[in-house]
Amino acid sequence: MTTEQDRNRVIIFDTTLRDGEQSPGCSMNLEEKLRVAEVLEDMGVDVIEAGFPIASNGDFEAVREIAKTIQTSQVAGLARTSRKDIDRAWEALKGARRPRIHTFISTSPLHMRVKLRMEPEAVHETMVDSVRYARNLCEDVEWSPEDGSRTEHDFLCRCVESAIKAGARTINIPDTVGYAVPEEFAALIHMLFDRVPNIDKAVISVHCHNDLGLAVANSLAAIGAGARQVECTINGIGERAGNAAMEEIVMALRTRREKLGAYTGIKTEHITQASRLLSSITGFSVQPNKAIVGANAFAHESGIHQDGVLKDASTYEIMTPESVGLTRSSLVMGKHSGRHAFRSKLKDLGYELGENELEVAFGRFKDLADKKKQIFDEDLVALVGEESRAANERIRLVSLAVRCGTKGPQTAELELEVDGVRKATQATGDGPVDATFNAIHKLFPHTAQLKLYQVDAVTEGSDAQAGVTVRLEEKGKTVNGQSSDTDTVVSSCRAYLHALNKLLVKREKTAPAALGT
């Protein structure tokens, strides 16, 4: 029997690894996706959308590995309506304990006419066929009418009813282009509940994009209207302006439960770790004033606010930093800390490394401790991120020496290992970073353009590690690389190589057309 409480539980469907990963510069490799999936599972995400298996072999492999690894969350894979897409998704998902096929087709007049070049009747028939076909393979099928918020109401109701009859258990209404406003979006969901006769046989979900900055507001409005699944991403990453940010939805429901009446199963104390992990993998840092996970989200600058918080934190804090897993930046370790303390500190930060990984990370920690007097949590997070990514890279840094200062020319002597073969060269440039990037070009010629080069200090002090982000673009494909080191030039070199390695993975990924064949 469903209790009132069950009826108000909102399913969290995380699409960081699919819609999030589709956003420019956010591509991740297999190992990175697995790490994110494990963190999502630990935080209690109900459904992890692991990728779009037909999009590339890399996507397929990632969905297959995640499906095999994840035990408690459901694992979903996206497919267009063609049987080839659905078969590929199922092939990747079938090893999962709880698989879900998510199939979609556009239903708005504009998308049907311009993108699909299909009549509504044909779209309806194709959709019914695809849901039925998917349902024969997998018990749990979700269907989405892409551009749902701009779909004509009669047609939307007819499609939703037919999709449920064909076996879809979840109907997801996307605001694909982030066009809806909250009241209107809530009315759309109410309209479906009022007009679709078999609506009680499915969970109604929403998937909101953030083009007008309304993705979270629209998702919450839809929950108020009866939606019981929301699709969202960590840090709100996603196509264009992104998707609804999971941490904002979850914390709004938790903090204002008396008003919103619904709740999720997310362990909110894991939010900060998930946000930081994603930033370190993608190189997409979070804006300082971003709700919940921004660096200033719990900082109080003005004297009046500080005074209030010291007297009683609830004067200016509507939720505690601890509730989102934020602990004050603490001095953690020094050069005399041992392996055991290192392992246990990493565990507190949410990282459990295998013996080999731990050994290498510990070695790097000792090197860092030699260079830097005080090591903070942030340093360790940066160090572990660095370690796990280096393991899969085709192009690796062997050594770098630079000559810089007022007496030019600035020169870089660089040795790389490319697919196991060592190569060395020398190059000059306008400054040591430019010379280093020129040397990389000489050893690994490529046409990618440098679109962003950014340096941030990981902690305070002149011995702080330099966190460097490099963005490269090649033929419309964008990738971000990140690295951190107390030496800014070494960090820059590693960040560039990280981006280049990602580009090699991304080169094989082609953008899927509107319809699969």
- Applying CB under 5 A, the residues found at the interface with Zn ion are 19
**Considering beta carbons, is residue 33 or 209 the nearer one to ligand KIV?**
209
**Considering beta carbons, is residue 104 or 496 the nearer one to Zn ion?**
104
**Considering beta carbons, is residue 208 or 489 the nearer one to Zn ion?**
208
Name the minimum Å distance from CB 60 to ligand KIV.
17
| 163 close to 101: Cβ distance less than 8 angstroms | no
Cross-strand partners of 54 = none
**Considering beta carbons, is residue 103 or 484 the nearer one to ligand KIV?**
103
Name the minimum Å distance from CB 320 to ligand KIV.
34
| Pairing state between β 170-175 and 203-208 | parallel
Q: Find which of ligand KIV, Zn ion, none residue 498 binds, CB within 5 to 8 Å per kind.
A: none
Name the minimum Å distance from CB 144 to ligand KIV.
4
**Considering beta carbons, is residue 151 or 273 the nearer one to ligand KIV?**
151
Q: Find which of Zn ion, ligand KIV, none residue 144 binds, CB within 5 to 8 Å per kind.
A: ligand KIV
**Considering beta carbons, is residue 19 or 140 the nearer one to Zn ion?**
19
Name the minimum Å distance from CB 107 to ligand KIV.
10
Selected from 207, 372, 498, 502, the binder of ligand KIV by CB under 6 A is 207
Q: Find which of ligand KIV, Zn ion, none residue 436 binds, CB within 5 to 8 Å per kind.
A: none
Query: DSSP state, 233?
Result: B
| 159 close to 124: Cβ distance less than 8 angstroms | yes
* Alpha helix (H) residue ranges in 25-151: 30-42, 57-69, 83-93, 109-110, 120-137
Selected from 27, 151, 176, 279, the binder of ligand KIV by CB under 6 A is 176
Would you count residue 104 as binding ligand KIV (CB under 6 A)?
Answer: yes
CA distance 286 to 169: 35
User: Could you tell me how far CA 268 lies from the centroid of its own chain?
Assistant: 17
CA distance 176 to 157: 18
Selected from 59, 65, 140, 146, the binder of ligand KIV by CB under 6 A is 146
CA distance 244 to 32: 22
Name the minimum Å distance from CB 488 to ligand KIV.
38
Cross-strand partners of 417 = 396, 422
| 206 close to 180: Cβ distance less than 8 angstroms | no
CA distance 395 to 422: 10
Sequence letter at residue 335: K
**Considering beta carbons, is residue 211 or 367 the nearer one to ligand KIV?**
211
C-alpha torsion angle, residues 374, 375, 377, 383 (rounded to 10): 160
The size of the interface with ligand KIV (CB under 6 A), counted in residues, is 8
Name the minimum Å distance from CB 15 to ligand KIV.
7
Task: Give the number of C-alpha atoms closer than 13 A to the C-alpha of residue 326, restricted to the C-beta side.
Answer: 16
| 103 close to 143: Cβ distance less than 8 angstroms | yes
Give 404-407 contacts, CB < 8 A, sequence gap 24+.
404/431, 404/432, 404/435, 404/489
Q: Find which of ligand KIV, Zn ion, none residue 104 binds, CB within 5 to 8 Å per kind.
A: ligand KIV
**Considering beta carbons, is residue 151 or 268 the nearer one to Zn ion?**
151
Reduced to 3 states (helix: H, G, I; strand: E, B; else coil), residue 274 is helix
Q: Find which of Zn ion, ligand KIV, none residue 100 binds, CB within 5 to 8 Å per kind.
A: none
Selected from 74, 144, 229, 491, the binder of ligand KIV by CB under 6 A is 144
Would you count residue 19 as binding ligand KIV (CB under 6 A)?
Answer: yes
Name the minimum Å distance from CB 105 to ligand KIV.
9
Would you count residue 53 as binding ligand KIV (CB under 6 A)?
Answer: no
Nearest one of 514, 510, 513, 446 to 476, comparing CA atoms: 510
Name the minimum Å distance from CB 176 to Zn ion.
6
**Considering beta carbons, is residue 19 or 85 the nearer one to Zn ion?**
19
Selected from 25, 58, 77, 174, the binder of ligand KIV by CB under 6 A is 174
Q: Find which of ligand KIV, Zn ion, none residue 146 binds, CB within 5 to 8 Å per kind.
A: ligand KIV
| 56 close to 25: Cβ distance less than 8 angstroms | no
CB-nearest residue to Zn ion = 19
Angle at 194 between CA 191 and CA 200, to 5 degrees: 115
**Considering beta carbons, is residue 236 or 516 the nearer one to Zn ion?**
236
**Considering beta carbons, is residue 19 or 41 the nearer one to ligand KIV?**
19
Name the minimum Å distance from CB 231 to ligand KIV.
7
What is the H or E stretch that residue 252 is in? helix 246-255
User: Could you tell me how far CA 266 lies from the centroid of its own chain?
Assistant: 16
Phi, psi of 3 (to 5 degrees): -90, 170
Name the minimum Å distance from CB 126 to Zn ion.
20
> What is the binding site for ligand KIV (CB under 6 A)?
19, 104, 144, 146, 174, 176, 207, 209
